[in-house]
């Protein structure tokens, strides 16, 4: 069986694009818009693969691209997003207007990786380099900064010290009040640690540490200036928005960072308002 090739390779150019090819592509997209990349090369009079045209447009020719060096703020944003999303370059790019996934990916591989290593941080795990190899009988501390719609920040510390002998506990310290029935609780000054007791388990049992990220189902959470001001990288793990989307609208995209921590095949902990859809808890 197999897939048919995306284009007739014998009749397509490869390698660097010429100015003439660029101009043809720009002119065609200006006249007809994006889309139907497969038929575009022929229609535009280009001897290129449709995928190649799409890549050239998205990564280089698009008028809304921001060229130039990454700022320190962008650096930190990329690091934070990567720590949460991993190599989801397109999602990360969606949070950096004017930057492309390819650009961010390249920048990560050439600059940020080195930067993190120089800080003593593993670029893949975002954990201290000298802490990457751990033993199940030693204390393992995983600290994840989880920010919800508001300024709520939770630091989750998993203490599996001597799992065989006693119940490990998970401490979630949050700078906002914690409401079991709501993911997107309002921000207050109150700090209330939440302790979850995990039943005694054998040390060889696999532990499922899955962080579930849901997309927003509704956008009526945020209306106050304070919450607008608190807009940050985690509030927009929603589908990418275009550059034309007003900032206020972007802010309105909310996300529930429901989390699940449990043994494989066993129960975990969920946000009280999450819905169980096809076996996965989503959205609240």
Tokens describing residue 25: 């592509």
Q: Report in angstroms how near the CB of residue 151 gets to DNA at its nearest.
A: 27
Q: Report in angstroms how near the CB of residue 283 gets to DNA at its nearest.
A: 16
Q: Which is nearer to DNA, 85 or 258 (CB)?
A: 85
In our burial notation (b when 16+ CB lie closer than 10 A, e otherwise), range 76-96 reads: ebbbbbbbbbeeebebbbbbb
Question: Phi and psi for 204 in degrees, rounded to 5?
Answer: -85, -5
In our burial notation (b when 16+ CB lie closer than 10 A, e otherwise), range 265-276 reads: eeebebbebbee
- Residue 31 near DNA by CB under 7 A: no
Q: Report in angstroms how near the CB of residue 26 gets to DNA at its nearest.
A: 13
Sites for DNA among residues 108-147 (CB under 7 A):
109-111
> Where does this chain touch DNA (CB under 7 A) — which range of 7-15, 128-136, 183-191, 270-278?
7-15
Residues 97/66, Cβ–Cβ less than 8 Å: yes
CA 183 distance to own-chain centroid: 18
Tell me the H-state helices in 108-246: 113-118, 225-229
Q: Which is nearer to DNA, 6 or 247 (CB)?
A: 6
Residue with tokens 């008028």: 63
Q: Which is nearer to DNA, 4 or 165 (CB)?
A: 4
Q: Which is nearer to DNA, 106 or 138 (CB)?
A: 106
Residues 17/56, Cβ–Cβ less than 8 Å: yes
**Per-residue mark of binding to DNA, 44-83 (x: CB under 7 A):** ----xxxxx-xxx--xx-----------------------
Residue ranges binding DNA (CB under 7 A):
1, 3-4, 6, 9, 13-17, 35-38, 48-52, 54-56, 59-60, 87-91, 101-103, 105-107, 109-111
């Amino acid at each position: 069986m197999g897939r048919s090739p995306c284009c007739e390779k014998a009749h397509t150019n490869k390698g660097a694009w010429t100015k003439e090819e660029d101009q043809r592509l720009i002119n065609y997209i200006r006249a007809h818009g994006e889309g139907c990349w497969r038929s575009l090369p022929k229609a535009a009079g280009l001897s290129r693969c449709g995928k190649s045209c799409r890549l050239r447009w998205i990564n280089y020719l698009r008028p809304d691209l921001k060229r130039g060096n990454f700022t320190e703020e962008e650096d930190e944003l990329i690091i934070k997003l990567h720590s949460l999303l991993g190599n989801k370059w397109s999602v990360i790019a969606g949070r950096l207007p004017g930057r492309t996934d390819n650009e961010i990916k390249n920048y990560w591989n050439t600059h940020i990786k080195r930067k993190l290593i120089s800080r003593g941080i593993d670029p893949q795990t975002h954990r201290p380099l000298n802490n990457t190899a751990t033993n199940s009988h030693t204390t393992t501390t995983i600290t994840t900064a989880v920010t919800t719609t508001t300024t709520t920040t939770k630091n989750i510390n998993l203490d599996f010290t001597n799992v065989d002998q006693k119940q490990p506990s998970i401490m979630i310290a949050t700078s906002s009040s914690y409401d079991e029935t709501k993911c997107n609780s309002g921000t207050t000054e109150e700090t209330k640690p939440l302790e979850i007791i995990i039943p005694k388990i054998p040390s060889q049992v696999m532990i499922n540490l899955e962080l579930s990220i849901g997309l927003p189902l509704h956008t009526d959470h945020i209306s106050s200036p304070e919450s607008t001001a608190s807009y940050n990288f985690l509030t927009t793990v929603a589908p990418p928005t275009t550059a034309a989307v007003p900032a206020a609208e972007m802010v309105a995209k909310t996300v529930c960072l429901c989390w699940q921590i449990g043994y494989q095949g066993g129960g975990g902990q969920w946000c009280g308002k999450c819905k169980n859809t096809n076996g996965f808890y989503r959205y609240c």
